[in-house]
Amino acid sequence: MLDIKGLRADLEDGTKILKGIDLQIAAGEVHAIMGPNGSGKSTTANVLSGKPGYQVTGGSVRLDGADLMEMEPEERAHAGLFQAFQYPVEIPGVQASTFLQSAVNAKRKAAGLDGLDALAFVRELRAKAKTLGIGNDMLKRAVNVGFSGGEKKRFETLQMALLEPRMAVLDETDSGLDIDALRVVADGVNALRSKDRSFLVITHYQRLLEYIVPDHVHILSDGRIVRSGDKSLALEVEQSGYAEFQAA
Amino acid sequence: MTDVFGADFLDRIDGAGAVQNAAAFASLRERGFPNRRVEAWRYTDLTGPLGRALAPAGLRINQEQSGLFGPIPAAEVSHRSADPDTDALSLLNASLAGEGFLFDVPEKVRLKPVFARFGPMAENALVNANNQIRLAPGAQATLIERWGNTDDSWLNSDTNIELAEGAHLTRVILVEDGGAGTQTHRTAARLAESARYDCLVVTIGGGLHRIEQHVDINAAGAHAGLAALVLKTGQEHSDFVTSVRHLAADTTSDQQVRTVVDEQATAIFQGGIHVAQDSQRIEGDQLSRALMLSDRAQAFTKPELEIFADDVKCSHGATVGDLSDEALFYLRTRGIEESRARALLVLAFAREPLAAVDLPDAVEAMLDEKLKAWLGVPGAFEELAL
């Protein structure tokens, strides 16, 4: 499904961050990328979704065969990519539910479908929000404004549930969450696991992977994947730390 | 005589035999119109409208029911000030206007919103409106004024407001232009004890719009809330001028101005707060934010705070900027295409002054739709009933 080959990316000032990433994720698989701070974890997520500020200098990324790097961020979303952000952006004045309806209908339009009317959308929204413990009061507020850390991550998960991506990238979804909030978010993610949907879970800590259990774990260090294994690799890292993977 | 700015313009008016108040006209001839060397007119040049061959014409008023709102009687117009120190546009108004509206609300009467539309009858018209709003003690009223212009005409209004003790006026001034016309609207309001004046100005389109709000807060407990939404594109020019004078202790004011400028448009906010020497325990807030959608657009903010008392809480803030790249990217990653994502963010910004005034739902919906039409996304982004 997702095929990353030799991906290289620099910051705009020329600093090299990704130095050749190779990663293949098949349909229905959950992969985790772990690594120390500064290894290129967030850059990987940002480059996949097309965030400005990076220069892709080599390699390719294909989602279901389509070249992601040639697409605008919204086209990547239409192609089935979703990024759950580490720090979701606050957007004052934009009602959360209006934003969600715009996003869902933009994706439907791109797929050649009619937009959902308010009634049909609200019905679906309520049902999916409820399973994540998101009430109407939160949906009436402006996007992420005044949301707690846990609310922000639940709201990201709700967006994922509504947009039904092929490929979801979760960037440090565990950061800033206590154990209860982490459980709610992980349950939301696990409910979305299916044979047609893949996940790339990016995290510094092994803790999240106890709740979202990966099929494969990769260690990222200095812009490269230096080791891959199954879920036991995460535990190994938890015990020994990242030092052995870091360049001397 | 020929030295004053606008002398030719005044000659043409005189020649047309339109002058109704000779004393006011004589004063205007003596002082002329303000040029850009006058500080309050630094950013706005009247050369354009003064250079046009405009014919003085009557005001057209379309207004829905209300016995308390109607054409202003001649007696109310005739004694307008001819003092040479009076504002030049007020003198022009006093010289020519025989028309305008009177909105007179008796004691303790609470009115449903009154809607009124004003416009010129003809192209190349010079229309002066002389308006009077009076709310007796305890009266409450909402007045929605829509000023529409045709290309090249000049609409010049002068509105006097008297709010007695405990009176509350909510006022919307929607100033629109289909073409490159000129509109100048000046308000002078006086607030008695515990009176409240809430006014939202929305200005869209036009060649030149200058809207002035001068508010004298004369007694304790009174409050002035001035909000403005300025939407300009093309070569359009807007100058929004406020002067709030706290002339008594225990009074408050709030000014909220949001400006969106695109293409080569220019928008200016000159915001004044004056606190007199014995006016203690004053709160005066002012926030101006401008959004520049083009590198060639211009936005200027000139806050003027004159504070002569000690026990005063006055704040002012001014920002000029572009849309947040982070917010734009966030929306796009959710599949919302860039032009719509931009429109959604501008919409959120531009709604802020609408929220600053307690508006009837129908008015808020009407303004919201104007805003969406201006952004090119009519009917989009409805808020959902949950």
Q: Identify whether residues B301 and B335 lie together within a single domain.
A: no
* Contact residues on chain B for A170, CB-CB shorter than 8 A: none
Beta strand B266-275 with B298-307: parallel, antiparallel or unpaired? parallel
How many angstroms separate the CA atoms of A91 and A159, rounded? Answer: 15
Residues A143, A146, A152, A154, Cα dihedral to 10°: -90
Distance of CA A53 to the CA centre of its chain: 18
CA end-to-end distance (rounded Å), chain B = 67
Task: Give the model's pLDDT for residue B24.
Answer: 93
Residue type at B84 in one-letter notation: P
Using CA coordinates, name the residue in chain B closest to A124.
Answer: B386
Residue B62 inside a domain? The answer is: yes
Q: What is the pLDDT of residues A84-100, one digit of tens each?
A: 999 999 999 999 999 99
Q: Give this prediction's pTM.
A: 0.92
- Among the partner-chain residues B326, B380, B386, the one whose CB lies closest to the CB of A122 is B386
Q: Which positions in chain B have a beta carbon within 8 angstroms of at least one beta carbon in chain A?
A: 324-327, 329-338, 340-341, 344-345, 347-349, 351-352, 380-386
Res A248: pLDDT? 46
Give the pLDDT confidence score for residue B384 in this predicted structure: 84
List own/partner pairs for A232-238 with CB under 8 A and 24 or more apart: A234/A32, A234/A34, A234/A206, A234/A209, A235/A206, A237/A34, A237/A206, A238/A205, A238/A206
Do residues B226 and B306 share a domain?
yes
Kindly state the helix (H) or strand (E) to which residue B74 belongs, with its residue range.
helix B74-78
Q: What is the ipTM of this complex?
A: 0.96
A142·B348 Cβ contact <8 A: yes
Q: Which residues of B touch A167 (CB under 8 A)?
A: none
In terms of CA atoms, which chain A residue is nearest residue B351? A93
B161 with B283, same domain: the answer is: yes
pLDDT confidence band for B316 (50 / 70 / 90): very high
- The amino acid occupying position A129 is A
Do both B246 and B340 map to the same domain? no
- Tokens representing B261 are 């400028």
Among B303, B322, B341, the domain boundary falls at: B322
**Contact assignment for A99 to B348 by CB distance below 8 Å:** no
Residue A24 in contact with residue A68, Cβ under 8 Å?
A: no
Whether residue B295 is found in the same domain as residue B330 = no
Minimum-distance CB partner of B335 among A50, A94, A110: A110
Does B141 reside within a domain?
Answer: yes
User: What domains lie within chain A, and their CATH numbers?
Assistant: 2-245 (3.40.50.300)
CA dihedral B2, B8, B14, B19 (to 10 degrees): -100
Contact B347 A93 (CB under 8 A): yes
Q: How many domains does chain B have?
A: 2
Closest C-alpha to A245, from A219, A211, A223: A219
Give the length of chain B: 386
Grouping H, G, I as helix, E, B as strand and the rest as coil, residue B286 is: strand
Say yes or no: B293 and B342 in one domain: no
From B277, B292, B322, give the residue that closes a domain. B322
Residues A230, A217 contacting (CB under 8 angstroms): yes
Q: Give me the sheet containing A30-34, strands edge to edge.
A: A81-84, A167-171, A198-203, A30-34, A216-221, A224-229
Does residue B247 form part of some domain?
A: yes
Please write the tens of the pLDDT for every residue from B3-34.
799 999 999 999 988 898 999 999 999 999 99
For residue B138, the distance in angstroms to the closest alpha carbon of chain A comes to 34
> Which residues of A make CB contacts under 8 Å with B?
49-52, 72-74, 76-78, 82-83, 85, 88-89, 91-95, 97-99, 101-103, 106-107, 110, 118, 121-122, 125-126, 136, 139-140, 142, 159, 163
At residue A99, φ and ψ (nearest 5 deg) are -60, -45
Which ranges of chain A would DSSP assign to H, the alpha helix?
41-49, 73-78, 96-110, 118-131, 136-140, 149-163, 179-192, 208-211, 232-240
Between B331, B333, B340, which is nearest A83 by CB? Answer: B333
Who's near A127: CB < 8 A, 6+ residues apart? none
Selecting from A95, A103, A107 the residue whose C-beta is nearest the C-beta of B383 gives A95
**Does one domain contain both B115 and B194?**
yes
Q: Which residue on chain B is closest to A129 by alpha carbon?
A: B386
Q: How far apart are CA B252 and CA B263, in angstroms?
A: 37
Same domain flag for B310 and B363 = no
Structural domain span for residue B373: 324-386
- Nearby residues of A64 by Cβ (< 8 Å), 6 or more positions away: A1, A79, A80, A166
Question: Given an 8 Å threshold on Cβ–Cβ distance, is A72 in contact with B338?
Answer: yes
Contact A93 B349 (CB under 8 A): yes
Minimum Cα–Cα distance from B334: chain A residue: A103
In terms of domains, do B286 and B330 share one? no
* Of B207, B206, B209, B164, nearest in space to B189 by CA: B164
Confidence (pLDDT) at B74? 78
| Gyration radius (Cα) of chain A, Å | 18
Beta strands in B72-195 (DSSP E): 101-105, 114-120, 125-135, 140-149, 154-163, 168-177, 182-191
Chain centroid offset of residue B345 CA = 25
Task: Lay out the sheet containing B140-149: strands in order across.
Answer: B59-63, B114-120, B140-149, B168-177, B196-204, B223-232, B252-261, B282-292, B312-321
Is the pLDDT score of B2 beyond 60?
no
Last residue of a domain, one of B277, B305, B322: B322
Which residues touch A200 (CB under 8 Å, ≥6 apart)? A2, A25, A31, A32, A33, A45, A48, A167, A168, A169, A170
Return per-residue pLDDT of chain A as tens, 248 residues: 999 999 999 999 999 999 999 999 999 999 999 999 889 999 999 999 999 999 999 999 999 999 999 999 999 999 999 999 999 999 999 999 999 999 999 999 999 999 999 999 999 999 999 999 899 999 999 999 999 999 999 999 999 999 999 999 999 998 888 898 899 899 999 999 999 999 999 998 889 999 999 999 999 999 999 999 999 999 998 888 888 777 54
Residue B1 placed within a domain: no
pLDDT reading at B60 higher than 90 = no
Which pLDDT belongs to residue B380?
87
B142 and B54 assigned to the same domain? yes
Contact list, A89 vs chain B (CB under 8 Å):
324, 326-327, 329-330
Q: Which residues contact B315 (CB under 8 A, 6 or more apart)?
A: B284, B285, B286, B287
Which residues of chain A neighbour B372 with C-beta distances below 8 Å?
none
- Nearest by CB to residue B327, choosing from A89, A106, A107, is A89
Mean pLDDT (chain B) is 93
Count CB pairs under 8 A between chains A and B: 98
Which chain A residues are closer than 8 Å to B334 by Cβ? 74, 77, 99, 102-103, 106, 159, 163
Residues B213 and B124 placed together within one structural domain of the fold: yes
**At residue B66, does pLDDT exceed 70?**
no
Indicate if B360 and B270 belong to the same structural domain.
Answer: no
> Does residue B217 lie in a domain region?
yes
Q: Please indicate, yes or no, if residue B243 is contained in any of the structural domains.
A: yes
**pLDDT on residue B180:** 87
Q: Is B2 inside a domain boundary?
A: no
Nearest one of A22, A20, A18, A2 to A10, comparing CA atoms = A18
